Amino acid sequence: MFCHSSTASVRGSFARHSLTFSGLLQAAFCGAAATIVAGGMAERMKFPAYLIYSFIISALIYPIVGHWIWGGGWLGKMGFADFAGSTVVLFPVTGLNFMHAAANWASPVLELQTGAVGTRMGKCWIIENCTVTNARCVGIILGHAPGVDYDDIDAYVDHIIRNNIIRRCGQAGIAGQKGATRSVISGNLIEDTNYRREFGGWETAAIKFHNSVDTIISGNLIRGMFRQIQGAFGIWIDYANQGIRIAGNVIYNTEAANVFLEMNHGPILVDNNILVGQPTRSNSEATVFAHNLFVDCGYEYSPDIRRRSQFYKPHTTQGVGSKTGTAQDDKWFNNIFIRQGLDQVKTASGYTSDYNVFLEGAKRSTFGDDNSIVDSYVTDFIIKDHSLGTTITFSINDTPFSLNGPQVNSELVGVFPTVGQTIEDRYGHPIKVDIDINGRKYSQPIAGPLADLKRGLNTVVWSSKQH
């Protein structure tokens, strides 16, 4: 990823400046590019030769490359996003400790959402290897800030939030409206959110996003999610999100749903997760569940026809319509269910379920699962906590190996009619679900989140990269 954020202020990026200012800024960087050689060639090059070089770089090379990137050229279309013009300049926040921050409650209706640390609607931040503890409300905020054109998806976002330890935050570990668009939330340990049960409003979750597009939430460990009355979800994909992928996460010990998909129109891909305890909850449509391990975790759907949420032209933030929360087009393939299954799920238009394994009393759906298998085998599923991770063990018999399930990809899933897109990455490339929870490639599809699933005892270890 090639990005730039201003090093003059922790508050932001060029996203808040006018087009005129951006032009002047690029002119300044063009001049800076011409002076780069000066340091290396000082007293080694004649002045006329330096003038010729400066003319070539300023009049020919910089404008052409700049057009390729910022003017709709081929590099920009491939995803290259360099706002400096002088290769890679990122805004890293690395290895810092944030404690006892007293930012206000970060409601999505606020013009400015604050937290212990946040991007303030900037662009291309990396927040990594940090520790955030005892934030009064939100630990890491990716939310509203004034002066941003939210319809221009290239004006902000593109963040990486990875390998952080986020503990004992009052409202949420990571949250925000719009600011998580095109961002990756990966490898974070988020635990004991709202552990004092001080807050009872509808904003408490380990991770909670509104109005985000093409966001990836992967490889996180979420545990200890508490509430006073409402809230207390593990991952809460709240309102008008699109193109979301939730992959390879481990979530348990939440007092409400481990994943809540509130008012979205898809596509949402939930794959290769281990979800334990509370059921997955939804008011959304067009969600694909693939290669997950659900333990004591059913699926609850409640239509929401009193509200309407927006959906967008694919891979943009340009709204093209709105719709109520109505069940349709959810799909389940290659999952393992332990003790709770899909028998309580009512059928709806476009619902599909097949090639799943139901163990220890879990029951198949009433609308599909023709090739799925129900078996009473006892898995002895166990979770053992560590201070910076967890170890999960469970046993498997021959049942998953007797299925010949399909590869879950865009061809299998098809195009979802409301949003007019299938499961695909931010560039519109179709997604194949071929990597397991540990990053291993499936040689052939098999139920559950382990490519190397074996008969007998299986072990999954999640450990913080800060260990």
- Note the pLDDT of residue 136: 92
- Note the pLDDT of residue 57: 83
Residue 172 has pLDDT above 90, yes or no: yes
Q: How far apart are CA 433 and CA 148, in angstroms?
A: 35
* Residue at 8 is within a domain: no
Q: How far apart are CA 265 and CA 173, in angstroms?
A: 25
When the pLDDT of each residue in the chain is averaged and rounded to a whole number, the result is: 89
Instruction: Tell me the residue range of the domain where 121 lies.
Output: 91-463
- The domain boundary, picked from 51, 77, 103, lies at 77
Tell me, yes or no, whether 334 and 197 share the same domain.
yes
Tell me, yes or no, whether 409 and 325 share the same domain.
yes
Residue appearing with tokens 């540990």: 438
> Which region among 192-206, 269-283, 352-366, 402-416 has the lowest average model confidence (pLDDT)?
192-206
- Note the pLDDT of residue 34: 75
Q: What is the pTM of this model?
A: 0.83
The confidence band for 29, taking pLDDT boundaries of 50, 70 and 90, is confident
Tell me, yes or no, whether 361 and 247 share the same domain.
yes
Q: What are 372-412's pLDDT values in tens digits?
A: 999 999 999 999 999 999 999 999 999 999 999 999 999 99
Tell me, yes or no, whether 119 and 50 share the same domain.
no
- The domain boundary, picked from 77, 102, 131, lies at 77
Tell me, yes or no, whether 196 and 307 share the same domain.
yes
Tell me, yes or no, whether 275 and 350 share the same domain.
yes
Tell me, yes or no, whether 111 and 68 share the same domain.
no
- Note the pLDDT of residue 294: 98
Residue 371 has pLDDT above 70, yes or no: yes
Residue 370's domain is classified under what CATH number? 2.160.20.10
The confidence band for 185, taking pLDDT boundaries of 50, 70 and 90, is very high
3-state secondary structure the chain: CCCCCCCCCCCCCHHHCCHHHHHHHHHHHHHHHHHHHHHHHCCCCCHHHHHHHHHHHHHHHHHHHHHHHHCCCHHHHCCCCCCCCCCCCCEEEECCEEECCCCCCCCCCCCCCCCCEECCCCECEEEECCEEECCCCEEEECCCCCCCCCCCHHHCECCEEECCEEECCCCEEEEEECCCCCCEEECCEEEEECCCCCCCCCCCEEEEEECCECCEEECCEEEEECCCCCCCEEEEEEECCECEEEECCEEEEECCCCEEEEECCCCEEEECCEEECCCEEECCCCEEEECCEEECCCEEECCEEEEEEEEECCCCCCEEEEEEECCCCCEEECCEEECCCCCCCCCCCCCEEECCEEECCCCCCCCCCCCCEEECCCCCCEEEEECCEEEEEEEECCHHHHCCCCCCEHHHHCCECCCCECCECCCCCECECCECCCCCECCCCCCCCCCCCCCEEEEEEEECCCC
* Residue at 83 is within a domain: no
Tell me, yes or no, whether 54 and 203 share the same domain.
no
* Residue at 82 is within a domain: no
Tell me, yes or no, whether 186 and 228 share the same domain.
yes
* Residue at 7 is within a domain: no
Tell me, yes or no, whether 55 and 119 share the same domain.
no
- Note the pLDDT of residue 402: 95
Residue 155 has pLDDT above 90, yes or no: no
Could you give the C-alpha distances from 435 to 326, 409, 448, in angstroms and in order? 31, 12, 11
- Note the pLDDT of residue 467: 56
pLDDT over 70 percentage in the chain: 89
* Residue at 49 is within a domain: yes
Q: How many domains does the chain have?
A: 2
Tell me, yes or no, whether 318 and 412 share the same domain.
yes
* Residue at 84 is within a domain: no
Q: Which residue has the higher pLDDT, 416 or 156?
A: 416
* Residue at 86 is within a domain: no
* Residue at 2 is within a domain: no
- Note the pLDDT of residue 35: 75
